[in-house]
Amino acid sequence: MKSKIHRGEVALGVSLMFPCPQLVEMLAYAGFDWVLIDCEHGSIGPADIEVMAMAADACGITAIARPRSNDAADIQAVLDRGVKGVQIPHINSRTDAERAVAAVKFGPGAGRGLAAGTRPDRWGLGGRMPDFAAQANAQSLVCVQIEHQQAVANVDEILKVDGIDVFFIGPSDLSQSMGFPGNPKAPPVAEAIERTLGKIRAAGKAPGMPATTESLPWVTGQGCRYVYNHLPRILDAGASEFLGTLTKR
């Protein structure tokens, strides 16, 4: 998934807010590239993350987790369960972004603890720990969320931080931050989103956003490569089509 994004291709995912490894499998077989295990807004706990990551590994879909916060302890907690990357909320400054990267990567001055016997290290049975640390640093995906008015104002500095793969704009929280809760199409919010997407593209970085069936062409047309929809919206679209067949007869 990380390589696909860096090649300029679109990686499509689905956000899950409750524990269900079977749904991870279904999304893989349906053809999605990745699944977002949402620990910020949902009911997913550490043990659930681990089982859902196992399901993802078994069927070839990439598991990304959104931790409860941008705190280093919350970031490490999801990584130690075996997900391949993190979508870190509430990154409002260059300092926030630097701390987020440090919480994901191993190395001098980094904030991530290196523990023996974790699942991503194959429980300590897969080889040398230095090899694991190097591989984890190379393969782990770092996505930071730009979702506050302060973050939009600081985006030029945030874009200078090394080690970030995706700069994700969160329309819902951004609309709330700007005084238009739940209305990302309000002109000031829409303008801020387009302006920020332009800055991300101009810096040669990968933008990300959520998308519905209706908004997907616009989102991908804006250069977004990291794109997901929420499971309830996908179910709603499928249910509406199915139930509507009787009224169309």
Amino acid at 248: K
Radius of gyration in angstroms for the set of CA atoms belonging to the chain, rounded to a whole number: 18
Distance, in Å, from the CA atom of 28 to the CA atom of 7, rounded to the nearest integer, reads 21
DSSP annotation of 71? -
Per DSSP, the three-state class of 234 is: helix
Per DSSP, the three-state class of 39 is: coil
**CA nearest 114: which of 85, 143, 137?**
137
Distance, in Å, from the CA atom of 82 to the CA atom of 86, rounded to the nearest integer, reads 11
User: Which entry of 41, 90, 148, 230 is annotated as an active-site residue?
Assistant: 41
Q: What beta strand segments (E) does 59-194 contain?
A: 62-66, 85-88, 141-146, 166-169
Annotation says 230 is catalytic: no
Question: Which residues does the annotation mark as catalytic?
Answer: 41
